[in-house]
């Protein structure tokens, strides 16, 4: 039976988890949840020392991600409005579709699964 992958984006982890549970209840075996970000890493790292000590790789590394190591991506990250720390973007989990639910379903189930995901608030 042919299968199809469905990618659904959610605004919160809780919504993504609820969708994954619903899919598993429908006997969909291949379901994954993953965060989505513009930058590598899991977000800003907690400071081990106060910034006054001068051990800061860059402002963008402080405010956007702890894993900016490529010199080519550093200027792009520095140009991002959030790099200054003054951008009013709000909580990323509330303002953007930052959680991806991936499911592999039989092609015959695709319309009903898409309908379910949209009802749960997904962007598919």
Tens-of-pLDDT digits for all 124 residues of the chain? 799 999 999 988 999 999 999 999 998 889 999 988 766 665 555 545 556 666 666 666 666 665 666 677 777 777 777 776 666 655 554 567 889 999 999 999 999 999 999 999 999 9
pLDDT of amino acid 49: 54
- Predicted TM-score of the model (pTM): 0.68
Contact yes or no for 39/66 (Cβ under 8 A) = no
**What are the phi and psi torsion angles at 62 (to 5°)?**
-70, -40
CB of 22 closer than 8 Å to CB of 119: no
Tell me the DSSP string of 85-97: S------HHHHS-
Coil, strand or helix at 105: strand
Q: What is the predicted pLDDT for the residue at 73?
A: 72
Domains of the chain, first to last: 1-36+97-124 (3.30.70.2750), 42-90 (no CATH)
Contact 104, 5 (CB under 8 A): yes
């Amino acid at each position: 039976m042919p299968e199809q992958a469905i990618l659904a984006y959610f605004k919160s982890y809780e919504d993504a988890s609820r969708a994954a549970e619903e899919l598993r209840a429908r006997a969909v075996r291949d379901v994954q949840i993953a965060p989505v970000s513009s930058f590598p890493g899991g977000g800003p790292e907690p400071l081990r020392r106060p910034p006054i000590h001068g051990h800061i790789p860059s402002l963008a590394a402080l405010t956007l991600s702890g894993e900016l190591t490529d010199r080519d991506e550093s200027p792009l990250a520095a140009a991002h409005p959030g790099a200054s720390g003054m951008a009013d973007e709000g909580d990323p989990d509330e303002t953007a579709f930052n959680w991806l639910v991936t499911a592999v379903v039989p092609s015959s189930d695709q319309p009903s699964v898409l309908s379910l995901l949209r009802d749960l608030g997904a962007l598919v």
